[in-house]
Structure formats: structure tokens, C-alpha cells
Amino acid sequence: MGKATAKLVVEQGGEVLIASRSAEKLRLAQAEIVGKQGAVTTKVLDNTDEIAVKEFFDSLEAGEYNALVISAADRAVHGSFLSLEVSQVKALFESKFWGAYFCAKYGAPKLAPGGSIVFFSGVLNRRPGLNCSPLASVNGAIEGLTRALALELGPRLRVNCFSPGFMETERFDHMEVPKKQAMLESTAQSLPLRRVGQPEDAAAAIYFLMSNSFTTGIVLDCDGGHQIRQYASQVNDPFRGK
């Protein structure tokens, strides 16, 4: 989703700096994003390393960029609340919450006036699922931080949060193809739009949060109707009638 957003910014004539812990991912992303020469630069960065994050933002010129989008997070951890190792949950918070916290703390002073910060949460905060307490918790923390910083950093900066639903992205590439396809199809059938999201859907929503000058302190859901999804069988549900 972050890569699709970078691509959209470049298509709109902007320039982007993308960071990741993986140099290989950065190389592939840069090659994939089509734009004018010099429109995409990259930086290897671990956002859970506070010192490295501070040094990274210290190296940037003030006002060089007008938006900060923070999408980085380790693979989601799922499991029973009573049996999950606490260390796994702490690791998720390190990447998704504290990584975002560090980037906002040291990146905010370098953004141009009128600029914006966009955090990422997710649908599982307000519509949790079984065995998803870590994601529900960390997403809630990020949404709370969004509202607090919108007050504290305004009016110089706007702060918003993007909350995606089920998106077909590279994070599922580790799955066996038949299992992945079955998961995508099952989820699609439970949503009002009968499809899962694509990175381009996310990019359009994120671009709005980045660019709309009268939007701050909100959580924008882009989830295909996940908040009102139906889990019952569409064939056997007696409330559907004939």
C-alpha cells in the first residue's frame, strides 16, 4: 500500500523518499515506480531503532517534504490471548506503534508548514476478530495517537490515520497459492462490494489524507464495507428469506 501511494504521488508530479529495512525491497520498488528521473530516492532504515530514525530525519532539510506516511509493520501475530507469547505482541508494538511514534516525533519538525502525517491502523480495532487481540490493541493505540497529535501539532501540521480492511498485498505472498486464493474469495463474499481491496484503492484514500487541507484528526476507513460485513452463509441464512 505504501508503494502504491508512492507511485500515485509520482504520477501526480511529486517526489518521494521511501524507506525500508530491506535494501532488496527498496530496489524493486524504485524500479517499479514510473516517473521522472530523480523522483524516487530510497533509504535503508529500521524504524524500531530510535537513534537511527532520529539520525535519518536530522539528515533531511527542513521543509523538503510535505507529507510523512508511515506504513511499516512486522507480520501480524495471531493467536489465543491466553496462549500467545507476550514477546510476540511486544514485537508487533515495537514495529507498528513505536516505529510510527519515532517517525512522527523526529519527522514532524522537518515537514513543511501545512504538511501532514498519515498513520496506518486497521479494521480489527473497531471490528475485531477471534485471535486478533494484538492487532486490535496496537491499532487502537495508533488511532489514539492520531487524535492527540492532530491537536498538538495543528495548525502547522495535519495528522490523520488510514484504516484499511482486507487488502490483497504482498504480505500474503508467503502463503500457498490455493490457501491464499480461498481466503481472498471467502473474504470477498462477506463484503458488500464482493471483492477485497487492491493497493490502488488504498493509495487513493491515503493521497486524500495527505493532500486535503481541511482534514485532520480522523480515521479514514477504506475497507469495502468491512464494518458492516456479514459472516452468515448467504445460502443458509434464514433471515435472508427466499
* Residue segments in the chain with a per-residue pLDDT below the cut of 70: 35-37, 231-242
Give residue 175's identity as a one-letter amino acid code.
Answer: M
Residue 100: closest CA among 145, 133, 136, 166: 145
In this predicted structure, what is the pLDDT of residue 160?
98
Q: Give the residue numbers spanning the domain of 17.
A: 2-240
Q: Which residues pair with 20 in a beta bridge?
A: 44
In this predicted structure, what is the pLDDT of residue 77?
86
In this predicted structure, what is the pLDDT of residue 240?
46
In this predicted structure, what is the pLDDT of residue 36?
65
Structure-block grid coordinates of residue 38: 530523480
In this predicted structure, what is the pLDDT of residue 175?
76
CA quadruple 146, 151, 156, 162: dihedral, nearest 10: 20
CB neighbour class for 74 (10 Å; exposed up to 12, middle 13-18, buried from 19): middle
Cα 202 to Cα 20, 110, 117: the distances in Å are 19, 25, 16
What's the structural domain count of the chain?
Answer: 1
Residue 180 CA neighbour count, 13 Å, CB half: 11
Q: Report pTM.
A: 0.91
In this predicted structure, what is the pLDDT of residue 242?
42
Q: How far is CA 114 from the centre of its chain?
A: 22
In this predicted structure, what is the pLDDT of residue 15?
94
CA quadruple 204, 197, 111, 64: dihedral, nearest 10: -70
Q: Rounded distance, CA 70 to CA 136, Å?
A: 18
In this predicted structure, what is the pLDDT of residue 239?
43
Q: Rounded distance, CA 23 to CA 155, Å?
A: 36
CATH classification at residue 160: 3.40.50.720
Q: How many CB atoms lie within 10 A of CB 49?
A: 15
